[in-house]
Structure 1
Amino acid sequence: MKNILWIVLLYTSVAVAQTVPSPKEHFGFNIGDDYKLATYTQTAAYFEKLAATSDRVKLVDIGLTEEGRHQYMLIVSSPENLKHLDQYKKISQQLARAEGLSDQQAHALAAEGKAIVWIDGGLHATEVVGIHQLIETAWQFVSRKDPETMRILDNVVILMTHANPDGQELTTNWYMRNADTLKRSTEQLPVLYEKYIGHDNNRDFYIMNMKESSNMGKQLFLEWMPQIMYNHHQRGPEGSVLAGPPYRDPFNYVFDPLMITGIDALGAAMYNRLNVEDKPGYTRLNGSSFSTWYNGGLRTTTQYHNMIGLLTEIIGNPTPEKIPVVPSRLVPNGATPNPVIPQDNWHFRRSIDYSVSLNYSVLDYAARQRDEVLYNIYKMGKNGIDKGNKDSWTLSPKRADAITAAYKKDKNDTTKDDGSDPYGWMKRGSNIPMSYYDAIYKNPALRDPRGYIISADQPDFATAVKFINALIKAGISVYKATDSFTVAGKHYPTGSYIVKTAQAFRPHVLDMFEPQDHPNDFQYPGGPPIRPYDAAGWTLAFQMGIQYDRQLDAFDGPFQRLPYGELQQTSRTSVTVANGYLLSAHANNSFIAVNDLLKAGVKVYRLTSGTADYPAGTFYIPGNATAQLQQVIATLGVKPAGVSKKPKGLAAITSMRIALWDNYGGSIPSGWIRWIMEQYHFPITVIYPQDIDSGDLRKKYDAIIFVTRAIPPVKGEEPNRYGFSLKPPAPEEIPEQYRHMLGKITKDTSVPKLKEFLEAGGTIITIGTSTNLAYHLGLPVHNALVEAGTEKPLPGTKYFVPGSILQVAFDSTQTAAWGMPSTGDINFDNSPVFKLDATAAEKGVKPLAWFTTDKPLRSGWAWGQAYLKDGVAAFVAPVGKGTLYAFGPEITFRGQSHGTFKLLFNGLYTVK
């Protein structure tokens, strides 16, 4: 009897120990309860409990965050599937890469495999529905036993990924700090919800600078390669509940059409389910601003990898909110078939329920169409390989317009499209002969490249290696030359890199090397432009200043294919003993070496007048620092040249005391520069408006950096890039430790202090709209982009250049442009452009970069670009004993524009 009782007690204790805890049992509240949010600490502990108590869950630590937290991914599937995860991962990889498979083999693998679906939450931490729907979805999948859930678990491997642990901890603690629930708010966070870049953490996924991006990119592009990924965001357009797929045009022309139609299919499943469940308010297509043009987002970068990338933007907050009356949203149409009725009390739980339903719709589709979604990613990859192995031409607006222009020119047709025939009813039976099509789409010079060669002998090869690593982290296949070789009559050295386009992720390859051709997108003919959701052009090779050759014909050589995911290191450099050393100013990594040498007490100089071999700006290190030089350059990929005697025309440099402006809540561009400064070993101090207004700046700092949107215009206020509220917080609402961050730069108080700083010998570097400081100081420069004879800015109907890559000329004899090429690419987002007054030269104002042509566009969209010709993009001006640098372009854009980093770096040394 005792033995039987012991067995019963043992069984009972085991059963209790294995009971999966509900959110209420763990957090103390139900997910979606009003006025309640979970911290990341609590969430991570819950994920650990789910993995410990459920045989449907495996917990994976995918890496550390920027603040050192563990970033978790829950793998959820049936117990049997979890026993064979390696097998299903391998099948997913084989189908995604599509290498060496026949269609028959792919069908067999699709029948054997399980659909892999990624669902994330929390990327933008103040969008609190995202992570809480993930918690609730995880709970439902480990606890429910209904037929649909079991079918999904049997046929799908779900990757539930936390996208921003640091942000959740910050946001929840901020919201929950008030005991009075009516005072709780996710707004007015004191700092960025990702250590460096806040909202831009969703703009980092083709370069993956941040640790969180790299962690997720590894799972997406190297490990699991899901066929479907679902990225949860907020918030839906006013008067709706959410925006989702399919998205508005344009989509990027490098996509395989199956990716676009795959989005259509999933979108139909999503809004159909909501309608069945009487959940109105879903808007799509041009009902929202979201498109599939931009690369770089967590969702969008996957689309360039043949994954069906889904995004929803939903309303919802633990503090109940309302759906306002927006009359235009109350008319059913193709964009919003089932409008939601305005209401005063929309509760958090309703958004959670919508999100869980959407997750189920995606997962149910994947389960029912498992073999189809598996085979289709193979088909897209195979299409990419096939296109890369033959002559191919990408369809694009520029080429379509070229056909029309050529035909109209030959017919002397000067009529313009007035928009009266948008659907082409009157164009039936077009008489344009095929020869006009052939002139474009059979023109050998206009073919897509078969591959790209990045020569190892370029001036900044270390930065080229960083570019290659961005491709490798994104799952791109890369080759490295094991010997010297010749292609198309050009010789290349050993160690050069080769990227061929005959690979499954061809869309991403083309997107990183080729210019984007954004269409002219206007509300109506002659009307205002429709701004792209993000950038219009971003070609990473252009931004990073990479030198490469496009190869239009098939080529081969002594190429070794690198293992997928194997990051490259710059070659170790040894120093031959000499009387002195010259270090190239072309190489960004030279600045790391110089900063480390200065910190070690080594004297460093720069050539003020260059030679044919060593241009102005070249660094000189005396021979007595050989050991220190060897130590700091060992892994930087920079090669010092030994010289027998000290060159003429040297100026000693010293480190500056550098201040970087920031504000309460955190400036994203400032955060990016803070990260860049850490990478390149520039010591900085972050300062706030109150620090500037307190004065005595010259006693504390030698240089101050102001990023875009720091210095206000002479008239009015600078709008926020993302349209968020700019209402300043009241000091009494802010904890004491953050109050020193409050305030803003003002014309009456701050600008006089900055003028004093300059006149006393300080350096100020302004970027983007902060070049407004030049106008506050009354310098002899004016806005170049105005109506003739007026100061009225050009309207968007005449001029509009949203985030794109343009080409400018540089004066590399000027200190700020040392190491720059004679012409180069800049990141331009309706950026300031200047006209120097007639008296500018005599007052010492000198152009650093300017537009030399009426067609400077390299990648993206530039309407009315002829207005840019002869405009000055950057200049330097003396102010008293000090110097003001004004850079209109975004020279440090999102940590991507390595090609223009030197424009910032050069100004951060004292040159004597």
Structure 2
Amino acid sequence: MKRTFLHSLVLLLVITAGYAQTLPSPKEHFGFNIGDDYHLTTYTQTEAYFKKLAASDRTKLVDIGMTEEGRHQYMLIVSSPENLKKLDRYQEISRTMARAEDLTDEQARALANEGKAVVWIDGGLHSTETVGTMQLIETAWQLVSRKDPETMRILDNVVILLTHANPDGHELVANWYMREPKPEKRSQDNLPRLYQKYIGHDNNRDFFMMNMKETQNMGRQLFVEWIPQIMYNHHQRGPAGSVLAGPPYRDPFNYVFDPLMITGIDALGAAMYNRLNAENKPGFTRLNGASFSTWYNGGLRTTTHFHNMIGLLTEIIGNPTPEEVPLVPNRLIPNGATPNPVTPQKWHFKQSIDYSLSLNYAVLDYAARHRDELLFNIYRMGKNSIERGSRDYWTLSPKKVEVITQAYQADQRKATSPGSNTAATASNDPFGWSNRGGIPAKYYDSVFKAPALRDPRGFIIPADQADFPTAVKFINALIRTGILVHKATADFTVAGKSYPAGSYIVKTNQAFRPHLLDMFEPQDHPNDFQYPGGPPIRPYDAAGWTLAYQMGVQFDRVQDDFTGPFQRIPYGELQAPKGRVETAGAGYVLSARANNSFAAVNDLLKAGVDVYRVPEGIPGNPAAGTGAFFVPASAKAKTLLEKSANELGLTVTGIAKRPAGATVKVAPLRIALWDTYGGSMPSGWVRWLMEQYHFPMQVIYSNDVDAGDLRKKYDVIVFVTRAIPAVGATGQSNEYGYASREPKAEELPAEYRPWLGKISADKSIPQLKKFMEAGGSVVTIGSSTNLAYHLGLPVRNALMEMTNSGQERPLPAEKYYIPGSILRVSLDSTQQAAWGMPAEGDVYFEASPVFRLAPEAVARGVVKPLAWFPTNKPLRSGWAWGQSYLQDGVAAFVAPVGTGKLYAFGPEITFRAQAHNTFKLLFNQLYANAAVK
């Protein structure tokens, strides 16, 4: 019996040893080491490798969803075999701690002691940043194969989520790079299209909206399924003269954050650069050594900050083709931002992989040593949020602090006015910064704690608003990011206002309160300048983005606690608005205020059903505002509308009599959308948007424009921002705002050569003018409104000033600067171009064009304003320095050109498919509207 047992044990060990040997190294699988110069893996090869690593008892391979191009997106979970057996329990603990619901500190500490730290490490989001993709493969291999004490400690104490962020882009970039048989000639330059099907680099700007499939896949793991305590987002490119930029990051940070999140970043940052220094790996820069801050929401890393996760970003140099670390003299001297500078040298891909592996191990080692602290701290942050949302609370922001300062200064002016008994004393301290350098505490108590400045206890989204399906899309964006939402099961009243059943309620006493506030409340970006009176410091991305404003969602901000017949929606459960089709006598009415109506109309037109617009609406029918759609009754129309109502959540009103105003018949147009070689992100967003709303369209390139005969092929052409160059410009900027070299045709495969070319003043503009003169329409957005100047229309740049020498110049940034922010405009919704829009609305404005119209042009009806700035304070969310210059400026207009039209929209009306509030300003121009009797 004993011999049999020993024989079985030996046999088991032999089998196990053989099993372990079946796991191939990267060299054995790919034929080269990760980090070898001039070599990249494809995603197809990587997917096969991950499936082989899934045979290890340290791994679990999870398919988290399909990509936009139809590939499987994987997350490889790595931990000890013992932990993987209890993976569901550790996942439950991670979620429970992050949501912090109904837990005492004692219970939380017990769970922290039981649980394992959960760490997310991704790679490949920006696919040309190949270090991120390759380090993910090497990290997986090291964690699966190594048996050293540090690795074993990590596996025992950490659950690691290794996530591939962009399979489609990986395949494109690797194949493009490796297509050249001679290694020294390999290059990533001149990719023909975006490395995410629609949005390329903007795939790192989609994480509070979650439009793309890859974003949704990762968001569900981050915010619903796992909620890790640490997430590490790998990027490149490091600032010139350094190897990488990493945590901690420069100010400003968003005021809604829990301080534990910020100091958590500090702690992890210290672990990361300490390890590099101990391993003699110089070149780490942080703080003001790079441009990265923690203000912005919407990125893969930054959105986690609003969920109490320690979100880490590094931007490293490196390329499969060796490169040089350039000499940047001001980075050679050690300082607080760069304690250990790197010297100029030749840099190989393997060095970047080694750095990345060290950084990953630094993060994982910290997590292993501090697992209970990390778990408890994310609980504590969640609990703090719940407590802040359960009582009166005031979030600090510059505008609120300014209220204090202004109140104090007003009292000082009164005290120093003539006849005041305190004039002599107060005049010695006109600003009140005497003695201890502060002002009396009463100003904090009486001004800062004013009831009107309190944070809300919750928000109510009424179900009876004009575009409820879009409001539900907003709710789903919240749900995808792990926000707890309730739905009213019956009518209710709060603060004297009645709301219908089906309304949504979002209370702020929840763990992810920072994200919730960030989606409803305006961002108050500080005035951030290089020095007093100097130029502004550009934000990392947008300065303001309040999603409820961008989407035009109607909501009420409730400052006192409230209750009602509210049903809790399970985390992650998406909502679908219920539509209905009313009984019709003469026909059906679709509101132009609902974006989804346009999708329904497109389906009707495709099926050959007649559709009309009602310019002035229908008296007595509140659902039929200006530009409403009327569909004559028929069995076919009813069938299609019932399908649309079910799928799109539309309410289709039935009417007994055909409206007298239904005099404009709608017909589909032949739509062209400009794009360029390499891909335009704004164009990709619009392409995706047209697909969602069922607009048929064709992508065209500059060569198609230059070829002429446009009117024979198209009825309307859409030019997104950065398509039309400025008058007199010698080149065209790329997505990042600087000129780039266009490849030569002979450098490219033949299939991509027709995509080359740029819109030019000498060839393209005359063809566009002919197109409009022959009855075509051109829609321009953002900087492409430059077309108005090329055509000599009676408009000029409103943001100019006269110099002392009598020359006109653009306002300098010291006087006027508005990065991405949300502004308020007035709209003329009686005009066809703006049907369905409110009289006032929010627009996304990003250093956007603003116009002055020649008086005679308006008087003669040559140019018609569509949107304008009626006040000197249009800022709603973000940062607007010198916003008074905008007053009376025109934001959008329409002008006739021959028998056609030019539509000029200065604001980004389709911005990242977030700006639902202004989609109709594009959609209205995509129909032929012929008057009928």
Q: Normalization by structure 1: what TM-score?
A: 0.97
Task: Tell me which amino acid in the other structure corresponds to 1:271.
Answer: Y
| Amino acid across the alignment from 1:744 | K
Deviation at 1:9, TM superposition (A): 9.9
Q: Which residue matches 1:46?
A: 49
Q: Does the 8 Å contact 1:597/1:632 carry over to 2? A: no
For residues 754 and 385 of structure 2, the distance between their equivalents in structure 1, rounded to whole angstroms, comes to: 54
User: In structure 1, what is the equivalent of residue 420 of structure 2?
Assistant: none
Which of 869, 872, 884 does residue 902 from structure 2 map onto?
884
For structure 1, which segment, 574-583 or 887-896, has the greater mean C-alpha deviation from structure 2 after superposition? 574-583
Partner of 2:32: 29
* 1:623 lines up with 2:630 in the alignment: no
Between the aligned partners of 2:618 and 2:871, the Cα distance in structure 1 is 29
C-alpha displacement at 1:450, in angstroms? Answer: 0.1
Question: Gaps spanning 5+ residues in structure 2: where?
Answer: 1-5, 417-430
- The whole-number CA distance in structure 1 between the counterparts of 2:684 and 2:295 is 26
Question: 1:242 corresponds to which residue?
Answer: 244
Whole-angstrom distance in 2 between the partners of 1:425 and 1:210 = 53
Separation in structure 2 between the aligned mates of residue 832 and residue 493 of structure 1, nearest angstrom: 41
Give the Å deviation of 1:331: 1.1
Equivalence for 1:645: 657
Aligned residues: 900
Structure 1 position 825 matched with structure 2 position 842: yes
3-state SS of 1:744 partner: coil
Equivalent residue in structure 2 for 1:657, among 661, 667, 670: 670
1:300 partner letter: T
Structure 2 residue aligned with 1:756: 770
Secondary structure of the residue that 2:901 maps to in structure 1? strand
Matching residue within 726, 730, 747 for 1:713? 726
For 2:736, the equivalent position in structure 1 comes to: 722
SS of 1:512 mapped into structure 2: helix
SS in 2 for 1:911: strand
Match of 1:869 in 2: 887
Match of 2:419 in 1: none
Aligned ranges 1:438-837 → 2 under 5 Å: 438-612=445-619, 613=622, 614-624=624-634, 625-649=637-661, 650-716=663-729, 717-723=731-737, 726-788=740-802, 790-837=807-854
Which ranges of structure 1 fall in alignment gaps of 5 or more residues? Answer: 416-423
Encode CA deviations 1:61-119: one digit per residue, 9 max, x unaligned.
00000000000000000010000000000000110000000000000000000000000
Q: Is the 8 A contact 1:574 1:634 kept in 2?
A: no
SS at match of 2:89: helix
Name the structure 2 match of 1:200: 202
Alpha carbons of 1:721 and 1:690: their partners in 2 closer, same or farther (altered >3 Å)?
A: closer
Q: What is the aligned partner in structure 2 of residue 901 from structure 1?
A: 919
Identity %: 70
Give the C-alpha shift of residue 406 in structure 1: 2.2
The residue number in structure 2 matching 1:390 is 391
Offset at residue 413 of structure 1 (A): 10
Q: Does 1:437 align with 2:444?
A: yes
What pairs with 1:158-557 in structure 2 (closer than 5 Å)?
A: 158-343=160-345, 345-412=346-413, 429-557=436-564
* Cα distance in 2 for residues equivalent to 1:776 and 1:30: 54
Deviation at 1:786, TM superposition (A): 0.4
Conserved 8 A contact 2:462-2:554 = yes
Aligned partners of 2:654 and 2:8: how far apart in 1? 82
SS at match of 2:728: coil
Residue 577 of structure 1: CA displacement?
3.2
Give 1:628 deviation, angstroms: 2.8
Whether the 8 Å contact between 2:404 and 2:448 is mirrored in structure 1 is no
SS state at 2:801 partner = coil
In the TM superposition, residue 171 of structure 1 has moved relative to its aligned partner by 0.2
Q: Shift of residue 371 of structure 1?
A: 0.5
Residue 418 of structure 1 aligns with which residue?
Answer: none
For the 8 Å contact 1:670–1:707, the answer to whether it is kept is yes
Per-residue Cα deviation, 1:873-908 (whole angstroms, up to 9, x for no partner): 000000001011000000000010000000000000
In the TM superposition, what is the alpha-carbon distance from 1:718 to its structure 2 partner?
A: 4.5
Per-residue displacement from partner, 1:223-253 (whole Å, max 9, x unpaired)? Answer: 1100000000001000000000000000000
* Residues 714, 772 of structure 1: 8 Å contact kept: yes
Letter in 2 for 1:729: P
Structure 2 match to 1:419: none
Provide the rounded CA distance (Å) in 2 between the counterparts of 1:708 and 1:577: 43
Letter of the structure 2 residue corresponding to residue 615 of structure 1? G
Q: Report the alpha carbon displacement of residue 7 of structure 1 after superposing the two structures with TM.
A: 12
Q: Is the 8 A contact 1:573 1:635 kept in 2?
A: no
Name which of structure 1's ranges 722-731 and 878-887 shifts more when overlaid on structure 2: 722-731
Confirm or deny that 1:59 pairs with 2:72. Answer: no
- Give a deviation string over 1:779-814, Cα, whole Å, max 9, x none: 000000001475311000000000000000000001
Q: 1:638 to 1:414 in 2, by over 3 A?
A: farther
Tell me how far apart the structure 2 counterparts of residues 721 and 226 of structure 1 sit (CA, whole Å): 33
Once the 2 structures are TM-superposed, how far is the Cα of residue 769 of structure 1 from its aligned partner? 0.1
Change in Cα spacing, 1:101 to 1:14, as seen in structure 2 (3 Å) is: closer
Distance 1:538 1:428, change over 3 A: farther
Is the contact between residue 584 and residue 656 of structure 2 (CA under 8 Å) also seen in structure 1? Answer: no
How many angstroms does 1:12 deviate by? 5.9
Q: Distance in 1 between matches of 2:872 and 2:278?
A: 55
- Pairwise CA distance, 1:434: 1.9
Larger deviation: 193-202 or 577-586?
577-586
What is the letter of the counterpart of residue 406 of structure 1?
A
1:72 aligns with 2:74: yes
Select between 174-183 and 523-532 the one with higher mean Cα deviation.
174-183
Task: Describe the shift of the 1:223–1:548 C-alpha distance in structure 2 as closer, same or farther (beyond 3 A).
Answer: same
Alpha-carbon distance in structure 1 between the residues aligned to 2:172 and 2:495:
55
For residues 434 and 615 of structure 2, the distance between their equivalents in structure 1, rounded to whole angstroms, comes to 64
**Residues 465, 568 of structure 1: 8 Å contact kept:** yes
In structure 1, C-alpha distance between the alignment counterparts of 2:810 and 2:312, rounded to whole Å = 38
Q: Report how far residue 414 of structure 1 moved.
A: 14
Post-superposition Cα deviations, 1:579-606, rounded to whole Å, max 9, x if no partner, equal 1111100000000110000000000000
Distance across 2 between alignment mates of 1:7 and 1:103: 46
- Quickly say closer, same or farther: Cα 1:170–1:540, change in 2 above 3 A: same
Q: Contact 1:75/1:159 (CA < 8 Å) preserved in 2?
A: yes
Q: Quick one: distance in 2 between partners of 1:14 and 1:95? A: 37
